[in-house]
Amino acid sequence: MNSSPRTGLRAAARKALAGLALAGLLTACSQPELYHQESYVFGTRVDLTVYGDSREQATEAMTAVLREFDRLHYALHAWKPSEVTRLNEGLARGETVVVSDELAALLRDAQRIAELGDGLFDPALGRLIALWGFHDDEFEPVLPDAEELARILAARPSMADLQIDGNRVSSRNPMVQIDLGGYAKGYALDRAAAILRGMGVDNALINIGGNVMALGAKGKTPWRLAIQHPREPRPLAILPLYDGEAIGTSGDYQRFFEIDGKRYSHLLDPRTGYPAEGTQSLSILALPGERAGTWSDAASKSPFIAGDDWLRYTRAYGIHHALRVADDGRIEVTRELRARLQIPSGIGPMIVVD
């Protein structure tokens, strides 16, 4: 039976709409997409996200980054066999140890960062960290031996004890034991950024257990990051993260144990030998630069350990974007960072500091 003119128009309209829908689908498919990979490295979860046109390019680049993370994990591990543990064994025997160009450069850089922070963050305190049980994947809630703690404090090991001559490393103090755990994730961010850019990926987000670096943007919008509340399962603030910026947070909620209701975190104060008190979390934003990732990790440690004197140490590092949650729940933020933050409802007032 022949269709009426009205029926034919409806059929034509349906075909036209189907054509438009198909055209829209094809257009959407040609738009850049988000590609994602994750792994577990450096004792934490690693998330990589790439915004791009080619799944093959994104996958190849992310695989190269994860391969580099594995290499760094085994090269810089503080207690499983690595170049760092071999160095520590030699230093304990009073020997001069020949290290790789990479490790020599990292040690020189860590020396400078430790000096700027008055030694509050000092990667030479590996013995103290091990004594507290934090050189284990799973640690027990046990206080350290008091005599051994006093012995380490009396020896005062520090990065200043290291003598670095080219690739030859020695120590004036046999109690020096290197632990780059507060430095390695930031260095890995910088390495990841270099690999991604070198492989043609200009838009990505690299997250190593809360140390995050942004490349480019997610389309027409910046990457957005939630800063974790240290005591509640919700964001403390939302931050847009722009090309080349990196943010890192030191918190007493990441690696810790409790005894009789008291929290003991892995962030140790070299002045007392005990976990730092006074701060729940401290976040810093490193602006684009050659080593933004490194700074985002290492430069959050001394201000955290300093407690109420935190601002002096962010300034010493040239960091102007920082946020601190004190042990009493007080939230302090620099004026520069506050201007960038979106604060969820229900979060207490933020005290702006200069």
Instruction: Give tens-digit pLDDT for 102-148.
Output: 999 999 999 999 999 999 999 999 999 999 999 988 888 999 999 99
- Compute the distance between CA of residue 55 and CA of residue 20 in angstroms, rounded to an integer: 26
Please say whether the beta carbons of 117 and 271 come within 8 A.
no
| Nearest Cα to Cα of residue 264 among 128, 141, 178 | 141
- Supply φ then ψ for residue 239, to 5 degrees: -130, 125
pLDDT value of position 13: 38
Please state, rounded to an integer, the average pLDDT across all residues of the chain: 91
Task: Flag whether pLDDT at 11 surpasses 70.
Answer: no
* 318 band by pLDDT with thresholds 50, 70 and 90: very high
**Average pLDDT, stretch 37-41?**
95
Write out the DSSP string of 173-205.
-TT-B---TTTHHHHHHHHHHHHHHHTT--SEE
Task: Flag whether pLDDT at 308 surpasses 70.
Answer: yes
Task: Flag whether pLDDT at 224 surpasses 80.
Answer: yes
The domains of the chain are located at: 33-75+190-353, 80-171
80-171: CATH topology is T-fold (1.10.3980)
Measure the N-to-C terminal CA separation of the chain; round to a whole number of Å. Answer: 83
Answer whether 33-75+190-353 and 80-171 agree in fold: no
Task: Flag whether pLDDT at 21 surpasses 70.
Answer: no
Strands across the sheet with 162-165, in order?
97-98, 168-171, 162-165
33-75+190-353: CATH topology is T-fold (3.10.520)
**Average pLDDT, stretch 39-54?**
94
Write out the DSSP string of 139-180.
--S-PPPHHHHHHHHHH---GGGEEEETTEEEES-TT-B---
In eight-state DSSP terms, residue 3 is P
pLDDT value of position 163: 98
Give this prediction's pTM. Answer: 0.89
Task: Flag whether pLDDT at 28 surpasses 80.
Answer: no
* 43 band by pLDDT with thresholds 50, 70 and 90: confident
- Compute the distance between CA of residue 282 and CA of residue 322 in angstroms, rounded to an integer: 7
240-255, pLDDT tens digit by residue? 999 999 999 999 998 9
Task: Flag whether pLDDT at 197 surpasses 90.
Answer: yes
Task: Flag whether pLDDT at 80 surpasses 80.
Answer: yes
Top pLDDT among 37 and 140 is at: 37
